[in-house]
Structure 1
Amino acid sequence: MTDSTVAEVLAELAALEDPKARAVNEKHGDDHGVNLSKLRALAKRLKTQHELAVELWTTDQTDAKLLALLICRPKTFSRADLDAMLRGARTPKVHDWLVGYVVKKSPHVEELRVAWFSDADPVVASAGWALTTDRVAKAPDGLDPAGLLDVIEAEMKDAPARLQWAMNHCLAQIGIEHPELRERAVGIGERLGVLKDYPTPANCTSPYAPVWIAEMVARRSR
């Protein structure tokens, strides 16, 4: 399927609407009813169509925006484009996919990381923290992990939920990747108690930083 029109794609998305999927998604703050495996299958069939992706993004439909992120050319977007897209990403899944699938592949990623990190909008700032966490894991040179811990210790406890989650991920990643800071990272997690009681399935790792750090370090030593 190539050179599709927006109307054709929206019709396909409408046909994939599943009330059960919508109910599950809405529990996580996402307002769409398309099974993500089926959405990915549609994207695979459409292949890369950047112009179509741009048009789909301008719709007010979360499923259309998610599809747009799968069929776009990430490196084509300008820094201003990506900043505007992030600020218009209303739902968690769109936000996550935009950062993970598009911004991380952009030549503007580091500029955006720095700009978003201290943004007054906590949802935008959470993207900056997510990109910082990615650098902690993959490209730590030039970062100040001890300084990041200072900010986390001072601000994470009272941060809005989405920003708190991103800061907590960074805390855990620093503890995992930096042995010299591991004791401090664990201590911060224990003192703040963020996500300590988060309901976690038996086969998943708790997002509570001390447990998360211990589990990941143990896996690497096996």
Structure 2
Amino acid sequence: YAVIVEDKRLAAIGSLAGTFNPMPRGANLSKGQGPALPTRDIVEGATAPKRTAKELTDVAKDLGMQNSMQVLPLDQNTVRVRFDEHIAFAPGKITLSDTAQALLDKLAESFKRPEVVEIQIEGHTDDLPTRGSGYASNWELSAARSMSVFHALEERGIANSRMITAGMGDKHPVAGRPDLSRRVDITLKFRPVTDSNVEKGQIRQLQRPAISSPKDSF
């Protein structure tokens, strides 16, 4: 059966709906034109750093390395993995140990997340001379170690275009912990979840269901 709604009554209904469910000025209620709502992609993008940090912490526990590997959330879009020299390299050497290889097998799976847009690999040393290492300075030793990690991750399927390496020498020591001054830091940069990401189509959105008028329905 047909339902007839007078124009005046329809206008009143529309006014009342606007009171209880206000829409932004200029919003179109036709299909696909309503305000956007976040989808699971946006939620997952926002929580990816926390979830990744937990995964990495669990890896350290599973391998019994919680005292040798640290997971450090730096901000809402950055997580750092730090592991000591003694689990990665022999003193003065750049060849990754079997322990480090097994660790990177596990870490690489989390590093492959699509939300991770950059991986920074830094080699660090203490301020002791590099006697017997075959390298002229701590700068060169730390740079060579960062490249060893770079190649190991590349072998595990991480694109080299996503990685940056640096040798920091002894310029960033850990106060009171010379053992941690000799280390490797791997910093994961995650894609920020912002309005601009949404506008560029980097993160999908779900449109609010359209509201049609009774005239369109009958």
Larger relative contact order (CA 8 Å, sep ≥ 6): 2
Please state which structure has a larger fraction of its residues in strand. Answer: 2
- Which TM class, normalised by the smaller chain length? under 0.3
- Structure 1-normalised TM-score? 0.26
Please state which structure has a larger fraction of its residues in helix. Answer: 1
- Structure 2-normalised TM-score? 0.27
